[in-house]
């Protein structure tokens, strides 16, 4: 009897171990990722069973490595078999027609070269990268490209070029800090050179801006009416007042909220305005409401996978 029990115990234990080994093997295969590094991008993808593709654009000076450092989404993506494509595409506050065409072709070539699925694509970005995300998503949707994003999101992006001009002008008049002055002078010079003064003629701004609040113009994202859109921002008025002397109506947060209200009024049914509180921190621990970290990573993944 005892001999029989021992044999049964050994068999049961062996079977249990085998199941655990099989489970570990299955999990390791499921979570196996490869990283592909090119001049134009960095790609992290599962070796099989890709559930979604997340395309990310960084802020004005950010490259792929900067995005990875500031937005630690990769582990969340790996746990859910999601490919993450980090673009080395930056320094854009708007996109010309030829730039839209080239970027669209670049994305299509990346998807084709890496055999990425196109049935569940999400595109997003931080700061000016969010502007790029909206503009290229609108363009590809209009062009009936094989890359049609199911969702687009931004994190505290400067969407209204005309108001960016006006805020830069106010910052120069305030002369509050050297860094703010330098950025504002560059903005004013750049926008004046390309579009003139919006208070004299706003039409050129409307041609390129994601949103022109003065005229309620959204022509450059009109094709996203049936696309899921998330607008993240952290309207910390006290922080901005203390560090830049900015008023609420001069902040990205103000115009992002206005855009969400306009889109809702225009029948965009899938828009989410997501204001956050005390979530904005840089990777080095610095408090800053203008940061990737205002995006809840787990919630973003659930949104992508419709959980």
Q: Which H or E element spans position 130?
A: helix 128-142
Q: Which of 132-162 are b and which e, b meaning 16 or more Cβ less than 10 Å from the residue's Cβ?
A: bbbbbbbbbbeeebebebbbbbbbbbbbbbb
Q: What does the pLDDT read at residue 25?
A: 41
Q: Where are the domains of the chain?
A: 38-160+209-304
Residue 145 pLDDT: 87
Length of the chain: 307
pLDDT the model gives residue 30: 54
Predicted pLDDT of residue 238: 98
Report the CATH architecture of 38-160+209-304: 3-Layer(aba) Sandwich (3.40)
Q: What is the DSSP letter of 270?
A: T
Taking the CA atoms of residue 12, residue 17, residue 23 and residue 25 in that order, the dihedral angle to the nearest 10 degrees is: -140
Mean pLDDT by runs of 10 across the 307 residues of the chain is 41 43 44 94 97 99 98 98 99 98 98 98 99 99 90 99 98 90 96 98 98 98 98 98 96 99 98 99 99 99 95
Residues 6+ apart with CB under 8 A from 91: 60, 61, 128
Q: What is the per-residue pLDDT for 31?
A: 63
pLDDT for 93 equals 98
């Amino acid at each position: 009897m005892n001999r029989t029990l021992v044999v049964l115990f050994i068999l049961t234990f062996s079977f249990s171990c085998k199941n655990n080994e099989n489970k570990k093997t299955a999990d390791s295969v499921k979570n196996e990722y490869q990283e592909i590094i090119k001049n134009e991008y960095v790609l992290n993808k599962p070796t099989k069973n890709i559930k979604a593709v997340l395309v990310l654009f960084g802020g004005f000076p950010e490259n792929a490595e900067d995005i990875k450092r500031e937005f630690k989404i990769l582990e969340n993506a790996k746990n859910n078999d999601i490919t993450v494509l980090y673009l080395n595409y930056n320094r854009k506050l708007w996109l010309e027609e030829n730039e839209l065409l080239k970027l669209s072709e670049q994305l299509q070539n990346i998807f084709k070269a890496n055999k990425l699925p196109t049935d569940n694509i999400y595109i997003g970005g931080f700061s000016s990268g969010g502007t790029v995300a909206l503009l290229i998503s609108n363009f590809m949707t209009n062009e009936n490209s094989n890359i049609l994003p199911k969702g687009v999101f931004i994190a505290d992006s400067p969407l209204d070029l005309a108001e960016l001009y006006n805020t830069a002008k106010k910052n120069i008049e305030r002369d509050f800090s050297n860094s703010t002055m330098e950025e504002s002078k560059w903005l004013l010079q750049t926008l004046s050179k390309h579009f003139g003064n919006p208070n004299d003629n706003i039409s050129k701004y409307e041609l390129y801006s994601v949103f022109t609040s003065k005229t309620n113009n959204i022509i450059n994202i009109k094709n996203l009416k049936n696309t899921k859109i998330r607008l993240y921002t952290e309207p910390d008025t006290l922080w901005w007042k203390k560090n830049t002397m900015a008023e609420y109506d001069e902040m990205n947060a103000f115009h992002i909220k206005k855009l969400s209200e306009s889109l809702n009024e225009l029948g965009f049914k899938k828009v989410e305005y997501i204001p956050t509180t005390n979530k904005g921190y840089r990777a080095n621990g610095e408090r800053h409401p203008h940061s990737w970290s205002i995006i809840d990573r787990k919630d973003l993944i659930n949104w992508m996978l419709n959980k």
